[in-house]
Amino acid sequence: MPKYLLLKHYSGGPEPHHPFATMDQWAPEDVDAHMAFLRNVAAMLRESGEYVDGQALTQKQTWVRYGGPDAAPVTTEGPLPETNDLVAGWYMVDVASYERAVELAAYISSEPGPGGGPLYEWIDVREVMSGTPAEA
pLDDT band at 76 (very low <50, low <70, confident <90, very high): confident
Of 13-27, 46-60, 62-76, minimum mean pLDDT range: 13-27
pLDDT band at 82 (very low <50, low <70, confident <90, very high): low
Containing domain of residue 105, as a range? 3-127
Structural domain contains residue 136: no
Q: What is the mean pLDDT of residues 97-122?
A: 92
Looking at the structure of the chain, the number of domains it has is 1
Question: Could you tell me the pTM of the whole model?
Answer: 0.81
CA dihedral 83→88→92→96, nearest 10 degrees, is: -60
Structural domain contains residue 133: no
Angle between helices 28-48 and 98-109 (to 10 degrees): 160
CA contacts within 13 A on the Cβ side of 33: 15
Mean pLDDT of the chain: 86
Residue 9: helix, strand or coil by DSSP? Answer: strand
DSSP state of 78: -
pLDDT band at 45 (very low <50, low <70, confident <90, very high): very high
- Going from the C-alpha of 93 to that of each of 26, 58, 84, 112, 117, the distances in angstroms are 29, 21, 22, 21, 25
Q: How far is CA 66 from the centre of its chain?
A: 26
Is 94 a residue whose pLDDT tops 60?
A: yes
Structural domain contains residue 37: yes
CATH (domain of 92): 3.30.70.1060
Between CA 129 and CA 30 the distance in angstroms is 36
**Per-residue pLDDT tens for 120-133?**
888 999 999 887 76
Q: Do residues 12 and 105 lie in contact, with contact meaning Cβ atoms separated by under 8 Å?
A: no
